[in-house]
Structure 1
Amino acid sequence: YLATLGTGAQVFTVEMSAGTNPTLTVTISDTTPQNSTVTPTTAVFDKYAQASGYADVTAMITPRGNTLSDVTLGGTSIGSTNYSYDSTSHVLTLKKEYLATLGTRAQVFTVEMSAGTNPTLTVTISDTTPRTAPNLTATAGNRMVVLSWDTVTGATYYNVYMSEIPGVFIDTALATVTEATYQVQNLNNGTAYYFLVKAGNTGGLNVQSNEVNATPATTPAAPTNLIAVAGNGSATITFNVPSNNGGSSVIGYEVYDANKNLVGTGNSSPITVSGLKNGTTYSFTVKARNAVGESESSAPSNAVTPREPINNDDGGSTPNQPAMPASQQPASTEVVVLVNGKVENAGTAATAEVNGQQVTTIIVDEGKLQKRLDEEGTGAVITIPVSTKSQVLIGELNGRMVKNMENQQAVVEIRTEKATYTLPAGQVNIDALSKQFGTNLNLQDIKVKIEIAEPQAATVRVVEAAANQGGFSLVVPPLNFRVTAGYGERTEEISNFNIYVKRTVAIPEGVDPNRITTGVVVEADGTVRHVPTKIVMIEGKYYAEINSLTNSTYTIVWHPLEFKDIEKHWAKDAVNNMGSRMVVTGTGDELFSPDRDITRAEFAAIIVRGLGLRLETSGGSFTDVKQADWYSSAIQTAYKYGLITGYEDGSFRPNDKITREQAMLIVSKAMKLTGLSEKIAEQSASHVLGEFSDAGNVANWSLNGVADSISAGIIAGRSANSLAPKAYITRAEVATMMQRLLQKSSLINE
C-alpha cells in the first residue's frame, strides 16, 4: 500500500474510541534505479567496403545515473575490442570491422548498464557487394558488336570498356548502362576489339568481368572489272578482287550466268567455266564469299561466245584458248586491252626476271588497237589492266601508235591493283623525242614504255630515312612511275610534262582516309617535296590522286602540323593545311608569324613547293640571285615555268617584300600551269575590279593577273571595296592563296 503512495511525509491518524487520536508520520521515498536509454535505437550497416553504408555505427547513451558495463549480442559479450565508449560524450561506437563479420540480418545488441533495464540497439546488416559480371559474351555484326552478360545482384549500373589491345583498357568507360546488354556501334569491320564490363552501385565499381573479343564483319563488296574470254566450250573470267572484304577474308568466288545459274567456283581470279555450248552467247557475274556470307553480284561481264577450235593450214587445229591474266601467263600470252571500257584482245604479256625483280611487259598490238581507236574516235581512253603480282609492270607501245593516239587526243592508262598511271599521249611528245634518236627513222621502231614499279631495296631505304628525318609517317609503300623511249641501244627517259599527269594510288584497307596528308616525291638524294594530292573514292575504295609534272618515286604520308600562334587566327585552317603539306614553313619555335610580311624569294619558294615542282639547280637567270643563296633553286624553278620574270635591269630583288599585286600576277601565271585559267569565264579587268574603290592603283603590267586571281576566287580585297594592290602581302594571306589555288584547280580536297 505504501508503495502506491507518493513520496514525502504521509501522516496517518490512529483513530481511538476515546481521547485524542495519535498520529503516525511515514516519510516515503523511492530509491528505484532509473532506466538508461540509447538514441537511435536502430541503425543500418553495409558490408560492401566501397559503399557509403560501410561505416562505424554510433549511438548516444543517456545513462541516468547508471554506468556501461558491456555490450552483448545474443547474451554473449562482443568483446571490448569491437566497441568503444566515451564516458564524457556518452557515445557508443560499434566498429565496422566487427560488424562486417556478422550475418546479413537484424542484429540486436544489448547495452548492459549497472542498474535498470538494459536498452537495446538493433543494427540491420546488408551486403551490396556486386559480384563479378559472369559470362560476358560478344557477338560481331556489321560494324558493330553486341555484348551480353548475366545480371549481378546488388548492381545498379554497368560500365562497358573497349580496347583494340588485349588486356589494355583506359579508365574512361565507353558507356554506362543499366541493362545487361549493350550494342557497340560504328566500328571498323576487320578490326579486333576487346571488351570487359564492371558492375557497380552507389558504392562504386567492383572487379571487372572476363575479357572477350570480337571482330566486326559483313559480306564483302562485289568483284569489279569482269572480263570474259571465250574458249572451246568454256569461258575464262578475270576480275578485280573486292575493294572491301567486309572485315573477313574472302574464301571463294562464285560465277553465275545471265540466268543466275551457278556455273563455276574458284578461290581467285581467273575462274574458268566449262561445259558451255559453243555458239551460245554468255555473260557472267561473280560473287565473293567470306565467313559472313556472299556479296552482291558484280556488274555483268562482256558477252562472249564459245566456239570450236579453228583449223590451221597444216590440217591441225589450234584451240581458241582464253586469255589468262599476266600473273599466270607464260611469255608472249595474249591479254586484253580496254578501249573506252570495251574489251579488245590487243595485248601480249611477257614476264621475266630483271635485277632480282619480276617484270611483266604488256606489248600492245598496233593494228588491233588502231582499229578500235578508229571506231571510238577522239578522246579515247586505252586501259591496260595488269593483275600480275610482278614488282615491275610495263605497258609498251611503239612510236607510231603513240603518234596516232596523240592525233586522236587519246589517253593511256596502266592499271594495277596498287596504282593507275594516266598519261595523255600528247605528253610523250613523240616528234621531239624521235629527233633525239636521229633523223629519217621510223616511229614504229621507237618503243615507248609506261611503267609502275616497286622500288629496289636501296630506294626504299632512302624513302624510309627521309620519312624518319622529315617526321612523317608512310601510309603506303613507295612506287616508281616512269616513262622511257628506246631506239636501238639507246634509251631516253621522259621525266617532265607540260600538264599535270595523274597517278592514282590505292589506300590499303584499314587506313583512315582522314589520317592522310599528301603525296610526296622522294628524290634519289632523299630530298622530299610535296605534290598536289587529294583523296577520292572509286567503287567504294579510297585512293590518293596525285598530280605532278614529273616522274619519280612517290609515296603517301601522314604529317599533321599545327602552329602555336594561329589558334584563333582567321587563316588557321589554311596555314595548318599548307604547313602539313610542307608548302609553308614556320618561323621557329612552332610559330608561323601569320601577319608578318613576306619577301619575293619566300613567295617564290612557296609557289614552287605548292605546285610540287622539281627544283632546278642551274643558275644565272638574275643578276642578284647567286647559286649559293638558299632561294636560288626555287627562283630558277619559278623562272623556268614562267611564273616570274624579274625587273628590267635583270635583277629579281629577292629580299624585297612582295606586294599583293605582284603576288596576284604570279598566281595568275600558276593558274595557267594548273589549267584553272581555262575554267574561269572571260571578263574584262575593268569589270572584275570595278567594285574596288582603289582599282586605279593597280599597275597596268599586273592588271590582267590581278583580275584573273580575283575572278578565280583565289584572293579577295582587304575589305569589301578595297583591294590594296600596293600593300605588302602577309604570310597568312599567302598560305590561304596557295590553298585556294590548289583547291580550285581540283588538285587537293576542298
Structure 2
Amino acid sequence: MKKIFASKISALIASLMIVSALVPVLAFANSFEGVPTSLSGTTNVTGQVYVTDSVYTTGKTIPVYVYGEDNKTVVDVVYATYASNGRYDIDFDVPSVTYSTYYYLNYHNVTQAVYYNPYYGGGGFPGFPSGGVIDGNGNVDGTQLTNLFATDKNPTITSTSDVVTIPADALIKGETLTIKLEDGTSITLPIAALKLEEKAKSLGIELSALDIKVELKKLTGDAAKAVSDAVYGIDAKPLATPVDFKIIAVGGGKEEQYTKLDVYFKRTLPVIGSVDSDKVTGVVYNPDTKELSFVPATFATEGDKTIATLLRNSTSIYTVIQLDNVSFADLANHWAKEDIETLAAKLVVEGTGANKFEPKRNITRAEFAALIVRSLGLDATGTTSKFSDVSSSQWYAGVVATAAEAGIVQGDDKGKFNPNANITRKELSAMVVRALGYAGKEVTLTDAEASAALAAFTDASSLGWAKAEVAAAVKSGIVLGQTTTKVVGDASASRAEAATMVIRLLGNAGFINN
C-alpha cells in the first residue's frame, strides 16, 4: 500500500535580486493547497493550485491531470479556474467509485495524492485497506471485506473500536484476518480453525446469519489490579496493559465463545520501553487460579514502539512481564547457565528450592512432560489419563493428560506411562520432536535422510524405535549429541540437558527470539 502523503510546496526557490535597496524577493514553486489527502462519504475534491508560471496566471483555466492508482495512467483532466493571487480553484468528482483507490493530481510535475475510500468513516486510516471494511463502531462491511479478500487473503484492518463484528459469510473467504487497534494491539484470526460452517450449524442457523465478534479489551479497575497483583507477586515488572482477547460466535439469539483452536495464532501487545528479550516474556493470566503462565512470545521494534507477538491456541487475558536477576547459586560457571536462566525468566523452568536448580539431577518422564506442556503454553486441564499408572490424584495427572492429548507422550506396550522413571535422552528427543510438530514445525525425514543426520554418531544403531525422532532432533539442531561422536540415547537425561533442548525447541519453533 502506498503511503499517504500531503504534497506540500515542492520546492523553495530563493532568488536574491540586487536592487537599489538590496531587498530579497522570494518566489514560490507551483503547489497544491487545501486539497484533501483522503475522502470518505463524498466523491468531490476541492482545493487550489498555486501557479508561478506567468503564462498561466494571465489565463482563466489551467489543466490538472488526474492519474489512477498506478500514478501513470491519466483517468481525467480537470480545468481549474483562476481565483486570485496566482491561485486556481479545483472542483471535481473522482472519476470512479472504486474501493480503496489513490488518485494523483498532477500539475507541471507537482503531485498531490488523494486516497478515496467510500466507507472510511473513521474506522481506519488512509493507506490501510481497513477504511472501507470497518466503521467507527467496529462493524465490518461484508461486501467490502469480500473485495479485500479478493486481492489479499491475509489482510490487516485497523479499528478504533475494541469490539469488532464480522459477517461470517464474508470472513470465510479469507485465510487470516488481523484486527489491529491504533496502539498496536492486535489479533490474527486463523479463519479455517474457526470452522464457521460447523459453528453456524451448531447454532441452528445459516452461515449468512452468523457473526464473529472479536474483543480486544484492556482491563481496568479490579480486573487490572488482579493481574497487577499476580505480576508483583512473583517479583516481576509489568510491561504492558493486560488485554482480554475473545472470539465469540453470535447468531440465532445465541453466543458461543471460542476458547481453544487447533492452531497457534497471533496477538500483539505494545510494550513499555525497549526490552531484553531474554528477560521478558508474554504471559497468560488465569482469573480462577490468579496465576501467570508462560506464553510463546517474540519482541521486535516497530517504528518507535516495542511490539510483543504472542502465540497461543487459546483466548484469554494476556500481558507482558519482566523478571530481572533470575539466577541459581549452583549454576556458576555451568555450561547451561544462560539457557536455564532465560527459561526461568520466562516461567518455563523452576528451581528446586534454596536458590538451587540442581542441573545434574536426572529428570523424570512426568517432570519433562510438565516442562514441555509449559513451554508450549498449554493449559494443563486434562484429568482423564489413558495410562493405567497415572492416577488423577497425582500432581502430574493434568500435564500428562494434556501432553498425551497433544500426541507428545506415549506409553509402553502395557499401557503405562512410567511417570517416575528417569527419562532417557532418546525419549526426551522424541518428545521434543513431537512438540515441535505440535507447534507447527513438523520435521519428517526419509530413511536415507535420517541415516545421514546420524552418520556422525557411532552409537546410532542403538537408538532402535527412536531412530527417526532422534534424527529429526539432530537435523533440527535440537540434539547435538553428548559428544561429537555419540548420542548416548539410553542414558538418563539431566535437568540441564532437558532445559537446553527446550530452549532450542522454542527457538526452532519461533516461540522466542533467537
Q: Classify 1:366/1:324 alpha carbon distance in 2 versus 1 (closer, same or farther; 3 Å).
A: closer
Counterpart CA distance in 2 for 1:668 and 1:514 is: 24
Cα deviations across residues 553-590 of structure 1 (Å, max 9, x unaligned)? 00100113111111201111100001111111111111
My pick for the range that moved more, 721-730 or 646-655, is 646-655
Q: Give matches, 1:547-696, under 5 Å.
A: 547-560=311-324, 561-677=326-442, 684-696=449-461
Q: CA deviation at 1:343?
A: 5.8
Residues 680 and 712, structure 1, Cα contact 8 Å, conserved in 2: no
Q: CA deviation at 1:423?
A: 1.8
- 2:190 is the alignment partner of 1:429: no
Cα deviations across residues 82-124 of structure 1 (Å, max 9, x unaligned)? xxxxxxxxxxxxxxxxxxxxxxxxxxxxxxxxxxxxxxxxxxx
Secondary structure of residue in 1 paired with 2:505: helix
| Structure of higher RCO (CA pairs closer than 8 Å, 6+ residues apart) | 2
Counterpart CA distance in 1 for 2:401 and 2:112 is: 52
Counterpart CA distance in 1 for 2:437 and 2:396 is: 23
Counterpart CA distance in 2 for 1:736 and 1:652 is: 24
Percent sequence identity over matched residues?
Answer: 26
Letter in 2 for 1:451: E
Cα deviations across residues 356-403 of structure 1 (Å, max 9, x unaligned)? xxxxxx2222222223323x1xx6223221235xxxx12221221232
Q: CA deviation at 1:734?
A: 0.8
Q: Classify 1:516/1:661 alpha carbon distance in 2 versus 1 (closer, same or farther; 3 Å).
A: closer
- 2:197 is the alignment partner of 1:386: no
- 2:280 is the alignment partner of 1:517: yes
Match of 1:348 in 2: 135
Q: Classify 1:681/1:455 alpha carbon distance in 2 versus 1 (closer, same or farther; 3 Å).
A: farther
Give runs of ≥4 in structure 1 deviating > 6 Å. 679-682
Q: CA deviation at 1:720?
A: 0.9
Match of 1:79 in 2: none
Aligned alpha-carbon RMSD (Å): 2.9
My pick for the range that moved more, 459-468 or 545-554, is 459-468
Q: Classify 1:416/1:336 alpha carbon distance in 2 versus 1 (closer, same or farther; 3 Å).
A: closer
Counterpart CA distance in 1 for 2:327 and 2:104 is: 54
**Of the candidates 136, 141, 147, which is equivalent to residue 371 of structure 1?**
147
Counterpart CA distance in 2 for 1:644 and 1:434 is: 34
Residues 625 and 652, structure 1, Cα contact 8 Å, conserved in 2: yes
Match of 1:447 in 2: 211
**Of the candidates 304, 313, 317, which is equivalent to residue 115 of structure 2?**
304
Q: Classify 1:445/1:582 alpha carbon distance in 2 versus 1 (closer, same or farther; 3 Å).
A: same
Letter in 2 for 1:364: V
Residues 516 and 556, structure 1, Cα contact 8 Å, conserved in 2: no
Q: CA deviation at 1:670?
A: 0.8
TM-score, normalising length from structure 1?
0.53
How many residue pairs match? The answer is 423
Match of 2:180 in 1: 414
- 2:271 is the alignment partner of 1:507: yes
Secondary structure of residue in 1 paired with 2:490: coil
**Of the candidates 299, 312, 316, which is equivalent to residue 535 of structure 1?**
299
Q: Classify 1:336/1:424 alpha carbon distance in 2 versus 1 (closer, same or farther; 3 Å).
A: farther
Q: CA deviation at 1:435?
A: 3.4
Letter in 2 for 1:417: D
Residues 337 and 347, structure 1, Cα contact 8 Å, conserved in 2: no
Q: Classify 1:478/1:683 alpha carbon distance in 2 versus 1 (closer, same or farther; 3 Å).
A: farther
**Of the candidates 402, 405, 411, which is equivalent to residue 171 of structure 2?**
402
Residues 467 and 474, structure 1, Cα contact 8 Å, conserved in 2: yes
Counterpart CA distance in 1 for 2:344 and 2:510 is: 19
Letter in 2 for 1:746: G
Match of 1:325 in 2: 122
Counterpart CA distance in 2 for 1:681 and 1:703 is: 11
Residues 426 and 470, structure 2, Cα contact 8 Å, conserved in 1: yes
Q: Classify 1:668/1:234 alpha carbon distance in 2 versus 1 (closer, same or farther; 3 Å).
A: farther
More strand by share: 1
Match of 1:278 in 2: 92
Match of 1:22 in 2: none
Q: Classify 1:394/1:744 alpha carbon distance in 2 versus 1 (closer, same or farther; 3 Å).
A: same
TM-score, normalising length from structure 2?
0.76
Q: Classify 1:742/1:671 alpha carbon distance in 2 versus 1 (closer, same or farther; 3 Å).
A: same
Q: Classify 1:276/1:583 alpha carbon distance in 2 versus 1 (closer, same or farther; 3 Å).
A: farther
Counterpart CA distance in 1 for 2:291 and 2:116 is: 54
**Higher-Rg member (1/2):** 1
Q: CA deviation at 1:646?
A: 1.4
Cα deviations across residues 59-101 of structure 1 (Å, max 9, x unaligned)? xxxxxxxxxxxxxxxxxxxxxxxxxxxxxxxxxxxxxxxxxxx
Q: Give matches, 1:288-303, under 5 Å.
A: 303=114
Secondary structure of residue in 2 paired with 1:608: helix
Residues 411 and 422, structure 1, Cα contact 8 Å, conserved in 2: yes
Residues 475 and 516, structure 1, Cα contact 8 Å, conserved in 2: no
Counterpart CA distance in 1 for 2:305 and 2:153 is: 25
- 2:237 is the alignment partner of 1:473: yes
Counterpart CA distance in 1 for 2:315 and 2:176 is: 20
Match of 1:736 in 2: 500
Cα deviations across residues 517-563 of structure 1 (Å, max 9, x unaligned)? 10100011212110011111223421111111111100100113111
Q: Give matches, 1:13-52, under 5 Å.
A: none
Match of 1:745 in 2: 509
Residues 519 and 533, structure 1, Cα contact 8 Å, conserved in 2: yes
Secondary structure of residue in 1 paired with 2:311: strand
Cα deviations across residues 446-479 of structure 1 (Å, max 9, x unaligned)? 1111221012533223212212322212111211
Counterpart CA distance in 2 for 1:563 and 1:483 is: 41
Counterpart CA distance in 2 for 1:706 and 1:494 is: 36
Structure 1: tracts of 5 or more residues without a match: 1-225, 236-257, 259-274, 285-299, 307-319, 327-334, 351-361
Q: Classify 1:487/1:683 alpha carbon distance in 2 versus 1 (closer, same or farther; 3 Å).
A: farther
Residues 387 and 417, structure 1, Cα contact 8 Å, conserved in 2: no
Cα deviations across residues 118-162 of structure 1 (Å, max 9, x unaligned)? xxxxxxxxxxxxxxxxxxxxxxxxxxxxxxxxxxxxxxxxxxxxx
Residues 433 and 473, structure 2, Cα contact 8 Å, conserved in 1: yes
Counterpart CA distance in 1 for 2:426 and 2:471 is: 10
Q: CA deviation at 1:234?
A: 5.3
Cα deviations across residues 590-623 of structure 1 (Å, max 9, x unaligned)? 1111111100010000001111111114223222
Letter in 1 for 2:165: E
Counterpart CA distance in 2 for 1:432 and 1:690 is: 48
